[in-house]
Structure 1
Amino acid sequence: MAITRNIKCPKCGIFNTDKEYCEHCNTLISHQKKIAIKTIAVKQEEIDKVIHKRENPNLAEKLKKHPNIFYKIIGWVLYSAIAIVSIIGAGLAWFIAMVAAG
């Protein structure tokens, strides 16, 4: 035995039976469909972020791939400086955590 669902449209107020969209104003009323659409939108947003990050590298990455050797050297120096600062920061955070832990 199938269960019928009566859903009231939030826009026009008409009750619809087992529909994803309102028969009167064509507004989406199905909660499952709303969740599915939102899930697809979130996944697409994550994909777009990854594509943007791949197509738009940071300055150091751009300079490392530049055809001019002078710019390549600057890119590698900048990349190395960023790596060294990150390593020092991680070491400092570890040291502070160890001191705080006792």
Structure 2
Amino acid sequence: MAEKRIIKCPNCGVFNTNKEYCTNCNTLISHQKKRELKADIVKQNEIDKVIHERENPNLTERLKKHPNILYKITGWILYSAFTIVSIIGAGLAWFIAMVAAG
């Protein structure tokens, strides 16, 4: 037996039975449908973010792929410097955590 749902439209106040959209003003009233639409929007935003990151690499990545050898060397030096600074920072954070732990 199907479940009977009576939902009041937040826009016009008309009560609707087993409908996803209001029969009077065509406003979306189904909570399940709203959740599905919101999940689709979030998924599309994540896809757009990844596409943007792939199409617009950072400075070091662009320099590492540059055809001019001087720019390429500069890109690798910057990349190496960022990597070394990150390793030093991670080691320092680990050392401080170990000292604090006793």
The verdict on a shared fold, with TM-score over 0.5 as the criterion, is: yes
| 2:97 alignment counterpart | 97
Matched residue of 1:57: which SS? coil
C-alpha deviation, 1:49, in angstroms: 1.1
TM-score between the two structures when normalised by the length of structure 1: 0.97
Cα RMSD over matched residues? Answer: 0.7
Deviation at 1:100, TM superposition (A): 0.6
Moved over 6 A (4+): none
Whether 2:12 is the aligned partner of 1:22: answer no
* Alpha-carbon distance in 1 for matches of 2:49, 2:96: 33
- Report what 1:4 is aligned to: 4
Amino acid at match of 2:62: K
State the 1:48 CA deviation.
1.1
Letter in 2 for 1:68: N
- Provide the aligned length of Structure 1 versus Structure 2: 102
Counterpart in the other structure of 2:80 = 80
TM-score w.r.t. structure 2 length?
0.97
Query: Could you say which residue in structure 2 is the equivalent of 1:65?
Result: 65
Segments of 5+ residues of structure 2 without an aligned counterpart are none
Deviates more, 1:82-91 or 1:46-55: 46-55
- Amino acid paired to 1:15: F
**Unaligned regions of 5+ residues in structure 1, if any?**
none
